[in-house]
Structure 1
Amino acid sequence: MKLAIASGKGGTGKSMVAANLAFTLAMESQVSLVDCDVEEPNLHLFFPSDPATRDVTLPIPVIDESICTYCGTCGEFCRYGAISVLPKKLLFFADLCHSCGGCVLVCPEKAIHEEPKKIGTLSVSTPLPGLKLVTGVLDTGSPLSVPIIHEVKKETSDDPIVILDTAPGTSCPVVEALEGCDACILVTESTPFGLHDLRLAVDVTERLGIPAGVITNRSDGKDDETMRFCAEHDLDVMLTIPFSREIASIQSRGDLLCRVHPEWQKEFRSLFTKSKVLAGGEL
Structure 2
Amino acid sequence: MRIAFASGKGGTGKTTVAVNFACFLASSHKKVQYLDCDVEEPNGHIFLKPDLEKKMLAKVMVPVIDKDRCTACGECASHCQFNALVLILKDVLIFPELCHGCGLCARICPEGAIKEGEREIGYVEKGYAHGNIDFVHGVLNVGEPMAGPLIQKVKDNYKEDHIQIIDAPPGTSCPVVKTIIDADCVVMVTEPTPFALHDLKIAVSVAQTLNKPIGIVINRENREFKPLTDYLSKNRLPILTTIPEDKDIARQYSKGNIIIERLPHYIDNFMELAINIKKLLEKKQFR
- TM-score by shorter chain over 0.5: yes
Q: Distance in 1 between matches of 2:177 and 2:123?
A: 20
Equivalent residue number for residue 67 of structure 1: 69
Alpha-carbon distance in structure 2 between the residues aligned to 1:141 and 1:206: 31
C-alpha deviation, 1:89, in angstroms = 2.1
- How far did 1:281 drift? 6.7
Cα distance in 2, alignment partners of residues 279 and 253 from structure 1: 34
2:80 corresponds, among 78, 81, 103, to 78
* Residues in 2 aligned to 1:57 and 1:3: alpha-carbon distance in whole angstroms: 27
Confirm or deny: 8 A CA contact 2:242 2:269 kept in the other structure: no
The AA in structure 2 aligned to 1:64 is D
Give the equivalent residue in structure 2 for 1:217.
Answer: 219
Compute the displacement of 1:50 (Å).
3.1
Matches within 5 A, 1:45-64: 45-51=46-52, 52-64=54-66
Give, in whole Å, the separation in 1 of the partners of 2:50 and 2:4. 23
Specify the alignment match of 2:16 in structure 1.
Answer: 16
Deviation (angstroms), 1:157? 4.8
Aligned equivalent of 1:35? 36
Show CA shifts across 1:47-71 (max 9, x none). 2233111011111110010221112
Change (3 A) 1:204 1:190: same
Map 1:241-260 → 2, pairs under 5 A: 241-260=243-262
The code of the aligned residue for 1:30 comes to: K
1:260 is matched by which residue type in structure 2? R
Paired residues in the alignment total 283
* 1:134-174 deviation line (CA, Å, top 9, x unaligned): 10111112111011111111201524200111011111111
What code does the residue aligned with 1:124 have?
K
More deviation, 115-124/153-162: 153-162
TM-score when normalising by structure 1: 0.96
In structure 1, runs of 5+ residues without a counterpart are: none
Aligned to 1:25: 25
Match of 1:126 in 2: 128
Q: CA RMSD in A?
A: 1.5
Runs of 5+ consecutive residues of structure 2 not aligned to the other structure:
none
Structure 1 letter corresponding to 2:18: A
Identity of aligned residues (%): 39
CA distance in 2, matches of 1:236, 1:76: 47
Task: Tell me how far apart the structure 2 counterparts of residues 265 and 243 of structure 1 sit (CA, whole Å).
Answer: 16
Partner of residue 142, structure 1: 144
Q: Distance in 2 between the 1:38 and 1:173 partners?
A: 9
Cα distance in structure 2, aligned partners of 1:168 and 1:30:
26
Aligned partner of 1:227 among 226, 229, 233: 229
The answer (yes or no) to whether the contact 1:32–1:159 under 8 Å persists in 2 is no
AA matched with 1:277: K
Mapped to 2, the partners of 1:282 and 1:33 lie a distance apart of 26
Do the aligned partners of 2:124 and 2:136 also contact (CA within 8 Å) in 1?
yes
Give SS of 2:4's match.
strand
Say if 2:50 and 2:135, in contact at 8 Å, map to a contact too: no
Deviation string, structure 1 residues 216-265 (Cα, Å, up to 9, x no partner) = 11111132221111111111111111111111111011001101012222
Offset at residue 270 of structure 1 (A): 2.3
Q: Distance in 2 between matches of 1:53 and 1:224?
A: 47
Residue matched to 1:4: 4
Q: Indicate which of 203, 206, 209 corresponds to 2:205.
A: 203
Aligned partners of 1:258 and 1:114: how far apart in 2?
Answer: 49
Alignment TM-score, normalising by the size of structure 2:
0.95
Give the secondary-structure state (helix, strand or coil) at the position aligned to 2:209. helix
Q: Report the CA distance between 1:177 and its aligned residue.
A: 0.9
CA contact (8 A) 2:243 2:269 kept: no
Alpha-carbon deviations, 1:18-73, whole Å to 9, x = none? Answer: 01000111111110011111100000001223311101111111001022111211
Classify 1:208/1:81 alpha carbon distance in 2 versus 1 (closer, same or farther; 3 Å). Answer: same
Instruction: Check if 1:177 corresponds to 2:179.
Output: yes
